[in-house]
Amino acid sequence: MQLTIFNGSPRNKKSNSKILTEHFLQGFNEASDSQNEVFYLASLRNREIHLKAFSEAETCLFVFPLYTDAMPGIVKDFFEMIYLSDVQRPARLGFIVQSGFAESIHSVYLERYLEKFTRRLKCEYIGTVIKGGVEGIQIMPPSMTRRLFKNFKALGKHFAETGQFSEEIKKEFAKPYKMPILKQWLYPLLPSSLLNFYWNSNLKKNKAWENRFDAPYKF
């Protein structure tokens, strides 16, 4: 199976999507000697190369993060370019959507769009894998990411062997669907400094702490 993967993260090669894709391909390559190639949609100057790769693909996967309940703009832009072009489309199309939200409910509406988009391209829809709770994996100790990476490797191996996503792993990744009631009660009791530690540290690292309350589009 010839496999072409498009990474749709604006973080490019420093993304969580890249890390998950690498573990997916570990399993895929263990079970198959087929060719595979990864392209990064954040490299906007390579749009024609991406379009050509898409037109020559046999099986194509898009891996990208959820950005405020939607796909990143670079992914939507590429989808529109594909739809409006007359290039040949792959026979099969699938998606892996990851997010910082722990609950998969945030991604289900995007999943519906992706299925409809695939049908409109007249491609076979392989499915969409949804995995929440991914933000922060680059700073987590191995003990916290071991199971996640193991499952992505297993997902890739199953895909190489069957040409489909493992339904068992998809269901595991989709948990929890919604935030448990107990957690909803506990969250407001926790100090905001604890809940926002990761985001605050990123604001400071990028010298944006003083601008955190800016509202440039407020009238």
Instruction: Check whether residue 195 and residue 114 sit in a common domain.
Output: no
Instruction: Check whether residue 89 and residue 194 sit in a common domain.
Output: no
Peptide bond into 65 cis (omega under 30): no
Domain membership of residue 192 as a residue range: 181-214
Instruction: Check whether residue 130 and residue 46 sit in a common domain.
Output: yes
Instruction: Check whether residue 100 and residue 204 sit in a common domain.
Output: no
Instruction: Check whether residue 105 and residue 144 sit in a common domain.
Output: yes
φ/ψ of residue 92, rounded to 5? -135, 145
Instruction: Check whether residue 110 and residue 14 sit in a common domain.
Output: yes
Question: In this structure, is residue 219 part of a structural domain?
Answer: no
Q: What angle do CA 46, 163, 82 make, to 5 degrees?
A: 30
Count of structural domains within the chain: 2
Instruction: Check whether residue 208 and residue 104 sit in a common domain.
Output: no
CB pairs under 8 A, 24+ apart, for 73-81? 73/10, 74/8, 74/10, 74/41, 74/42, 74/44, 75/8, 75/41, 78/6, 78/8, 78/41, 78/47, 78/50, 79/117, 81/47, 81/51
Instruction: Check whether residue 171 and residue 188 sit in a common domain.
Output: no
Residue type, 43: S
Q: What is the residue-wise DSSP string for 20-35?
A: HHHHHHHHHHHH----
Q: Going by C-beta distance under 8 Å and a sequence separation of 6 or more, which residues neighbour residue 121?
A: 82, 83, 89, 93
Q: What is the pLDDT along the chain (219 residues), one digit of tens a residue?
A: 899 999 999 999 999 999 999 999 999 999 998 889 999 999 999 999 999 999 999 999 999 999 878 999 999 999 999 999 999 999 999 999 999 999 999 999 999 999 999 999 999 999 999 999 999 899 899 999 999 999 999 999 999 999 999 999 999 999 999 988 887 788 788 888 777 887 888 899 899 999 989 988 776
The CATH number of whichever domain residue 95 belongs to comes to 3.40.50.360
Instruction: Check whether residue 206 and residue 171 sit in a common domain.
Output: no
Instruction: Check whether residue 26 and residue 122 sit in a common domain.
Output: yes
